[in-house]
Structure 1
Amino acid sequence: MESPKQKQENEEPQNEVQQPQTHLIQLDVEEPNEPPVKRPAPKTFGDLTIIFIFETIGTGLFAYGIVASNGSDILIAAYLYAAIFLTCKFTGGHVNPAVSFSFYCDDTISSWTLRIYWTAQLLGAVGGAWIAYLILGVVTSPSIKSTNIEWMLADLCGEAFGTFMFVLFIHIQVHEQTRQTNNDIAGIAWIALALFFSRQLSSHSGGCLNPAMGVGLELFEAFWLNDTTKLANFWVFLFAPLFGAYMASIFYNSIYLPLLKK
């Protein structure tokens, strides 16, 4: 008869043989390698308040610049540079609902944060128009010169394609995989230059490429002059840039980035 100690010694080698076998079985199990789902970082109330304040100020500055520029592409690009320089550390320097919408489509910001951006941008555009009137005595807004089908189609295509190019340049600059320069000053200049050239694609509509400017400035002019006919074609300045921004996000993530990785 074996003693308990001898019985334990005889059973230990069996346990040592079984343990590696179990371990090997675990190693043979293939776990699915799924890419992590991108989730926007949650914003606190303080973060959203800062975004709202600075986005309102930045968009207001840009709106003032559009009115004060008298249509000069160089001055408009310069005012955009100033607006982004002022706000980029706090909000990313969107000052454009189409840009914010594109980053929402890119899963960079949440739907709630997008609403904060849009509210601030529209308020900033109206406020900037009001300040421009107080200082310069000028009331102006983007306008559609003709309502015939050919002209309206040109306006829609120009605003959409111009915004597409402008927002695509922004995506290229702000994402680390494709960034052209790590210098903030040069990066903002790159974006301002993109606006300058993108405006040349929408001469019919004045190169708005910004729903806050198109809708906000028209709202102020219609209210101040008591002329609601100014709002007849605001949908061109609203939907065409948003569509162009959406397509820019899709193109950047689905075509531009994959081609660079080949």
Structure 2
Amino acid sequence: MCIFGNMARNSLSARFEQSVTLDALRSYIAEFLSTFFYVFAVLGSMMSSRKLMPDAASDPSSLVVVAVANAFALASAVFIAANISGGHVNPAVTFGMAVGGHISVPTALFYWISQLLASVIACLVLRVTIVEQHVPTYTIAEEMTGFGASILEGVLTFGLVYTIYAAGDPRRGPLGAMGPLAIGFIAGANVLATGPFSGGSMNPACAFASSVIAGSFKNQAVYWVGPLMGAAVAGLLYDNVVFPTQSVDPVRGVSEGVGV
């Protein structure tokens, strides 16, 4: 038992050391900057639509504005960080990658810190500079329950993370800038589909930061439980069922699909 305990501690120590290297620090900075730009653009677009359209809540064009901003901002944020941190820009994406074994748990925790801090600062900048408006928070429609909204957010995040896996898979061939564009498109489409019902967050950091600035955490669990579960299922399904990882046969020296 002592031997296994020492091995576990050594493994954890090694993973933590890998999470505090200079390259890892660059990844955290990249996640911070990308998440800041994304949250600033998305919540800023909500505030802009309220400024231009006093009855933005019932004006369909305001939904289009937010969806387009979401698509453009996410595609750009992913593109600028993809080669450094992977361009997660979302705690749910990071969680899905950690569950799938693509990043270590200590690294995922540092990603979360960077993403949450960037989101809060982005919301704070909006609150301080645009004094006439409050930073909008994500809310669920009156006709929906918290459970239903959580399922909805989980399905949205499943689609987003599944697209991220597909767009970043080198086995599909080089996608270049098309990968981030595909990710942005699915995010924008999700907002168009569910914006009036749950807000189409798909991003716990975005929902959390706006709630911190507003001082209200009502239904906050909806924007964590659903997206985290959806992201985990998407990653596991893609890696293990739909497009399983290739393994090398040590005898024949050829690649074989796992589970195929």
Q: TM-score, normalised by structure 1?
A: 0.74
3-state SS of 2:102 partner: coil
- Count, aligned residues: 213
Provide the C-alpha distance between the structure 1 equivalents of 2:192 and 2:147, rounded to a whole number of angstroms: 16
The corresponding residue for 2:167 is 173
2:146–2:219 contact (8 Å) kept in structure 1: no
Deviation at 1:79? 1.0
1:74 aligns with 2:68: yes
Provide the C-alpha distance between the structure 2 equivalents of 1:183 and 1:255, rounded to a whole number of angstroms: 22
1:47 aligns with 2:40: no
The corresponding residue for 1:225 is none
Partner residue of 2:138 out of 131, 139, 142: 142
Q: AA paired with 1:78?
A: F
Provide the C-alpha distance between the structure 2 equivalents of 1:255 and 1:199, rounded to a whole number of angstroms: 28
1:117 aligns with 2:93: no
1:160 aligns with 2:154: yes
The corresponding residue for 1:213 is 206
Indicate the larger mover: 189-198 or 157-166: 189-198
Identical amino acids, percent of aligned pairs: 25
1:51–1:116 contact (8 Å) kept in structure 2: no
1:93 aligns with 2:87: yes
Provide the C-alpha distance between the structure 2 equivalents of 1:183 and 1:248, rounded to a whole number of angstroms: 20
| Pairing of 1:222-261 with structure 2 (within 5 A) | 222=215, 230-258=216-244
Q: AA paired with 1:238?
A: W
Partner residue of 2:38 out of 53, 62, 67: 62
Provide the C-alpha distance between the structure 1 equivalents of 2:194 and 2:18, rounded to a whole number of angstroms: 36
Provide the C-alpha distance between the structure 2 equivalents of 1:192 and 1:96, rounded to a whole number of angstroms: 13
Q: TM-score, normalised by structure 2?
A: 0.75
Which runs of no fewer than 5 residues in structure 1 stay unpaired?
1-39, 223-229
The corresponding residue for 2:49 is none
1:162–1:201 contact (8 Å) kept in structure 2: no
Q: AA paired with 2:240?
A: S
1:194 aligns with 2:186: yes
Deviation at 1:248? 0.4
Provide the C-alpha distance between the structure 1 equivalents of 2:178 and 2:227, rounded to a whole number of angstroms: 25
Provide the alpha-carbon RMSD of the alignment.
2.4
Deviation at 1:44? 4.7
Deviation at 1:170? 0.7
Provide the C-alpha distance between the structure 1 equivalents of 2:202 and 2:117, rounded to a whole number of angstroms: 17
Provide the C-alpha distance between the structure 2 equivalents of 1:42 and 1:108, rounded to a whole number of angstroms: 14
Provide the C-alpha distance between the structure 2 equivalents of 1:175 and 1:97, rounded to a whole number of angstroms: 20
Which runs of no fewer than 5 residues in structure 2 stay unpaired?
1-14, 47-62, 247-256
The corresponding residue for 1:18 is none
Provide the C-alpha distance between the structure 2 equivalents of 1:123 and 1:44, rounded to a whole number of angstroms: 18
Provide the C-alpha distance between the structure 1 equivalents of 2:73 and 2:178, rounded to a whole number of angstroms: 15
Deviation at 1:200? 4.1
3-state SS of 2:191 partner: helix
Provide the C-alpha distance between the structure 2 equivalents of 1:136 and 1:85, rounded to a whole number of angstroms: 28
Q: AA paired with 1:101?
A: F
Deviations 1:144-180 (A, max 9, x none): 343x7x5323211110001001100111111122x3x
Deviation at 1:52? 1.8
Deviations 1:96-118 (A, max 9, x none): 00111111111110000000100
2:136–2:210 contact (8 Å) kept in structure 1: yes
